[in-house]
Amino acid sequence: MKHIANRPDLPGIRYRVSGSSKTASHEMYAMQSTELIRQFLHDRLGAAPGAVVPDALLADLGVDSLMLAELMFEAEDRLGISIDSTVAIPKSVGEMVKLIDSLRAAKASAS
């Protein structure tokens, strides 16, 4: 079943939701994570928003180890998550999104 829902993080924006609310939550997490990464890379590196796609390698977008640390700190601050220093270093935008989303999901299930 599909329906239209409001985006709480973007007033006035609506999106199509299919399946359970769990699916909707995952889709919303992914969108928020992707948008955070897209905005961060655009602001810091001037990366074209259209270039920040799941398959894009972070290094190809100009992300070095220092910039990756800054991106991780930004995600922690804005999303209220904690990224452990022992996690595998994400190589692509998609890997970074999966990392952020898994931490957000774990935080949501713990509360």
- Global pTM reads 0.72
CATH number, position 58: 1.10.1200.10
- Tell me, yes or no, whether 38 lies in a domain: yes
Q: How many angstroms separate the CA atoms of 3 and 5, rounded? A: 7
Q: How many angstroms separate the CA atoms of 74 and 47, rounded? A: 17
- Tell me, yes or no, whether 9 lies in a domain: no
Beta strands in 1-111 (DSSP E): 2-6, 14-18
Per-residue model confidence as pLDDT tens digits over 45-103: 999 999 999 999 999 999 999 999 999 999 999 999 999 989 999 999 999 999 999 99
- Tell me, yes or no, whether 7 lies in a domain: no
How do beta strands 2-6 and 14-18 pair?
antiparallel
- Tell me, yes or no, whether 12 lies in a domain: no
Domain count, the chain: 1
The whole domain housing 70 covers 20-110
Q: What is the pLDDT of residue 73?
A: 95
